[in-house]
Structure 1
Amino acid sequence: MAARIFQIPKNALQSGKARTGTWMLEFVPAEAKTPDPLTGWAGSGDTLEQIKLGFPSEAAARAYAERNGIAYNVVPTPPKTLKLQAYADNFR
């Protein structure tokens, strides 16, 4: 049973930063998804894939994983880059 811990990134369609400070713990899929012969939908028998736990900090997520004996991998948050440009740059 392995999991990954990561911070929720800002959605490209949102301008605010709500819920971006939340850290998530998701379990790594134990088996590959296979198409259902009747409907064609992809699915598997792995029920842990449906569990997503939210934490206020990385330390809280790590403590939960260690307390419950879950092997985890922390995915670092990518650095934020700002593209600074002036309105006048549209007319050059």
Structure 2
Amino acid sequence: MSARIYQRSKNAMQSGKAQTDQWMLEYTPTEARKADPLMGWAGSGDTQAQVQLKFPSLEAARAYAAKKGITATLIPSPPKTLKIQAYADNFR
């Protein structure tokens, strides 16, 4: 079994940064999604794709993966850049 570990990103629809300190462990899909013949919705028989585990730190997520024998790949979060500008810059 393989999984990916990443840090939650900020919600783009809100200005708050709630739960961005959490680390997520998601299993990688083992079978491709296919269209349902009746409704046309995409789905698969892979039940592990529905599992999302939350951890307070990266070390806790790695320790869980090591304990359960899961090969986990770390997806680093992009560096946060701040664009600092004054209100007067809007009128230049």
TM-score (normalised: structure 2): 0.97
Matched, 1:73 2:73: yes
Paired positions, count = 92
Q: What is the deviation of 1:77?
A: 1.5
User: CA separation in 2, counterparts of 1:80 and 1:13?
Assistant: 17
Q: 1:57-80: per-residue Cα shift (whole Å, max 9, x none)?
A: 000000000000001001112110
- Give the partner amino acid of 1:61: A
Aligned twin of 2:35:
35
RMSD: 0.6
Q: What is the deviation of 1:14?
A: 1.5
User: CA separation in 1, counterparts of 2:79 and 2:11?
Assistant: 15
Unaligned residue ranges in structure 2 (runs of 5+): none
Moved over 2 A (4+): none
Among the aligned pairs, what percent are the same residue? Answer: 65
Matched, 1:54 2:54: yes
Unaligned residue ranges in structure 1 (runs of 5+): none
User: CA separation in 2, counterparts of 1:17 and 1:73?
Assistant: 25
